[in-house]
Each structure stands twice: as C-alpha cells, then as structure tokens.
Chain A
C-alpha cells in the first residue's frame, strides 16, 4: 500500500464550494440579524443586513443552478451520483452508520471508497439528496418569492400567504444551518483532521492506494480540469468532504 497525491478537487469545484460556504455563512448571520435585530447587529444597520442577505441569496441560488445544470446537462450523472441505489438503502446505510457510530471508534477503515462512479457513501447520498433536491430549492424559491412579494403576490397567495412562506424559509434555513455543523465536523473525520479539508483548498489529496481503489491515469477518468503532472493520478470531481 503506497500513498499517492491525487488531484481530487478541480478548480471549478473548489470555487463553487467556497463561494457557497461564504454565501451560506453570510446568509446565516444576516438572516439572524434580520429575524432578531434586538440581539444581533454584527453587520451594522438593518438595511445592510438585508442587502447582504439578498445579494448572498442570489449568489447561492445562482451557484445552485450552475451545480444542477453542470451535473444534469454537462456531466449527465446527477441520478447515479445523488440517488441512493437499492443496495445503498438495504445494507449500505446500515453499514455506513455502524462505521460512523461504532466501528470508527475502534480504528476500523471506512467501508466506502470514493470512485468517480460512486462518489458518496450511502449516508452522504441520502443527506445530499435531501439537501440539494429538497432543502436548497425550497430555501432558494421561498427566498426569491420573499424578495418579490409585490410582483409575485398572486403566487404568494396561492401558497397560502406571506407568513407560510416565511415559516418555510426560516425552518429550512435552520435545517441547513444545522447541516453546516455536521458537515464541518464530518470533514475532520479523515486520517488526520485536515485530510479532507486541505484538498478542498489546494485540490490535491494524499490517498493510500488500496489495490486499485484509486483509479490511475490509464483508467481514463481524468478530469478535464486536472493538471498534467507526471506521476500523479487524477479523479473526476470527487467530494469526499462532508457527510
């Protein structure tokens, strides 16, 4: 077993990830100030908080659209990557949960090895399915409606009113905030605490070669954005960080 440097996170993925991170944190803080102005005033005036919230909201919504467009249209592997398979639901979820909540504490290896065709473990798939297909669209759409209550009044009324919209937006935002804590924590569960975090910044990850678990240059899975560095293998966009 030998260690190799793998180009794991291409530049577009890293830009997308950190733009989202900045946007979502801005949304959380400004959202807290908008809802609790008596207690939160870190961003200065209320108007600044609203402007920042609206701007960050548009950026994250656009970023989400680009993500969807890329996976659905360009890469055309949205279903394979994000929808759990039958085996994921029957045994995969259970096996991965046992690892995280039991086997991990005894130093057992992670049962899931990321490959371009199977990037996420079953728990990741389920979590991302809920986040990217339910929560993110919901928070973005309710946000867009809340930014345009006047022009979109009829749609707001059809949904059941402004208040229902606010409740949806708030509860989904709380769920996404809750996810951030879990997401950041799970990102530290690599070999070393920074093992999964550094690649999201530099792009390169040190990967143990588990007898072909990591595809080599000859496996034709090279990402179009990956640099041509002799002796290094590359992976198609592989996100091992998170759940």
Chain B
C-alpha cells in the first residue's frame, strides 16, 4: 500500500472518531440533564435506571439488575466503587472509580499476583463485579467455562491427553481449579445433568432450572431428591432418585471441587502424580453435596449423608474414583472369593501329603 493511501485512511478514521465523539457527547448531555443518583433508599436504583436498560447502555455498562442485586457488591452500593462519579455523569467521566478490587480483596490479590495469570489478565478478565457469585453458588461446570473463555476446550483436551489417561473423563469430573490452584481440601459436588449422548464427557450439560421446575410441577426442585424435605439428603433418598424410572432422562453428575478455591493459579508438582487423588484415601471422599440450580442462575448446596461416594452401587452410580472410593464390603467379598480359590490347593494339598503312601501303594498295585 502506498504512503498516500495510508494518510487518506488515517484522515478518514480521525474524522469518523470525531463525529462519533461529538454525537455521543451530545446524547450524554441530553441524558445528564434529568439525571441524579444517591437519592433515597434504593441507592442503586438511580444508576440502574439507565444501566439496566440495554437501549441506553451497552456492553459492560449494561447491568442485569437481578444478577447484580444478588451480589455482595450491590449491598455496598454503586458509589462505593465508582467513587469519583459526579452529578454530571455520564457527561464527564465514563470509568468513574479510583478504587480497585484489592482494596477489599487484598488476600486474593496477593495470591493471584504470584500466579502466571497475573501477567495476562486482571480480575475483570474472569470476574464481572456486577454479577459475581460466591464459589458455592457457581456450578463447577461454570467455573470451568470461566477458564474455557480463554483456554479453548479442544486445546485443553489435547494438552492433557499427552499425559492424563481418560482425559475427557477427568476434565468432566474435576473443576480446573482442583489441580490448578493451591486448594487443599476437596468435596464431591453432585449436579443433575442431562442424559444426552451428544454431549462430550468434558462438557457435561447440566439441566436447567426451568426444566427441573417442570419436572417437579412447580414445587421446590430440591424435593426431587430430598423427598422427606428435611434439607438433608440421605443415601436412601439418593438411591430412590436413581432407581426412579421417571428420572431416566437425567443423571447425577459428580464433580470434585475444592472446598475453598484459591487464586494461586499454577500447576503444582504433586498434581502430576495420580496418587494425589487416587490414593487420597476414603476420608477425603466422605463429604458431598447436591448442588441445585436457582431461578437466578446461581446454585445452592444441600448436604449429603457421609459416605455417598463409597456406597457400592446406587448413591452416585456414575462417580468412581479409582483407588479412593472403593467399597469396604466389596473388598471383603472379593477377598472371600480369592480365599475360596485357595481352599482347594491348601485343603486338597494337605490331604494329598497325608495320603502319599496310600497313593504309592495304589499306583504300584
């Protein structure tokens, strides 16, 4: 391309930008005239008047009032973070804050700054502060989707397949942060997933709140499993859920999640060793929860009776962690069978030894 053409293009761009700035400033001025905030009880309402309206704002400036209302951030109010906002907003400043996430979340920032991610993205790269949820409110699959926003699933499967047997199975049964953060304690979280052969194992599709609502006929979906409505799920209730022919189109998908996810994202050396999980012993696998979806897109956990993962057959029939969730009774039965095979050699061999003279005589005769 000739130099003259480049100058011409540059000029065109500058003119376009100037026109855009002129027009948008005009619109902002028009809006600012009837704008006020921080007036009265619902201190976010004034901001949301515009920011909940997708015809007025777009992109990250749009705030879903339901999702924002659920966050802890909403309780502090918009101006806690957007502290430099003035009454002339939006005419004057668009990014109206001098605060940062670290002002409140200093511990997380310290953890995060040591990880390789810190060089690549800031907090907002993964978290939208206007719709952020606590770790227990997110499904493990959504946690993994967060990672998948940058790390393409196909590449993740390929890189893990170089060393990890049953790659897809592992990726579908473990939250990424279980291995790639310094979390130390784990629980088994059970989700209700769609039984659809089309989904790959590494991307299990959880059943939506609306579909479960239809299934329970408008009742609380928790009672789909928690039949006696005591806010606690027993092994019997899990077994009944699995045996119920009405539930053939869905199944319980268990995923290993850290009790407290950390932001120290890196691959720790001990995670390369399979026995980190597979010989973790039965103790770590005793705690489990069923995570039910809420109407607002979050999840809530209901505690499950201890030992659900160890139950031989029916509690979580599709979760088995080799080496760690083996069932004690089955081990006993297996041992009995093997010992049974030794009865013949030992018993018969003993009599054979005692009768050796008899047999010699018999053979000679």
Contact = CB atoms under 8 A, between A and B. Distances in A.
Interface of A: 34-38, 45-47, 50-51, 54, 100-101, 104-108, 147, 149-151, 153-154, 156-157, 160-164, 166-167, 170-171, 174-175, 177-182, 184-186
Contact of B334 (A150, A157, A171): A171
Given A35-B322, A149-B201, A177 B341 contact: yes
Residues of A contacting B: mostly: helix
Interface string B177-198: 0000000000000000001010
A180 B342 CA distance: 9
B278 A100 contact: no
Given A101-B348, A150-B201, A106 B362 contact: yes
Contacts of B82: none
B340 interface: yes
Interface stretch (B85-93, B165-173, B206-214): B165-173
Interface of B: 163, 165-166, 168-169, 172, 195, 197, 200-202, 242, 251, 273-275, 278-279, 281, 312-314, 316-320, 322-323, 326-327, 330, 333-335, 337-342, 344-345, 348-349, 351-352, 354-355, 358-363, 365
Contact of A106 (B279, B348, B359): B359
B338 A174 contact: yes
A107 B358 contact: yes
B348 A171 contact: no
A105 B351 contact: yes
Contact of A36 (B323, B327, B337, B355): B323
Contacts of B202: 150
Contact of B338 (A50, A106, A178): A178
A107 B352 CA distance: 10
Pick the 7 closest A-B CB pairs, nearest first. A107-B362, A178-B341, A161-B317, A150-B201, A185-B345, A105-B355, A46-B274
A163 B322 contact: no
Contacts of A186: 344
B320 A162 contact: yes
Contacts of A170: 330, 334
A108 B362 CA distance: 6
B313 A164 contact: yes
A181 B339 CA distance: 9
A107 B361 contact: yes
B345 A182 contact: yes
A180 B177 CA distance: 44
A104 B61 CA distance: 91
Contacts of B166: 147, 149-150
A161 B318 contact: yes
B323 A46 contact: yes
Nearest to B201: A150
Contacts of A182: 341, 344-345
19 contacts: A34-B322, A47-B274, A107-B359, A107-B361, A107-B362, A150-B168, A150-B172, A154-B195, A161-B251, A163-B316, A167-B327, A170-B330, A171-B337, A174-B338, A175-B337, A177-B341, A178-B338, A180-B341, A181-B342
Nearest to B311: A163
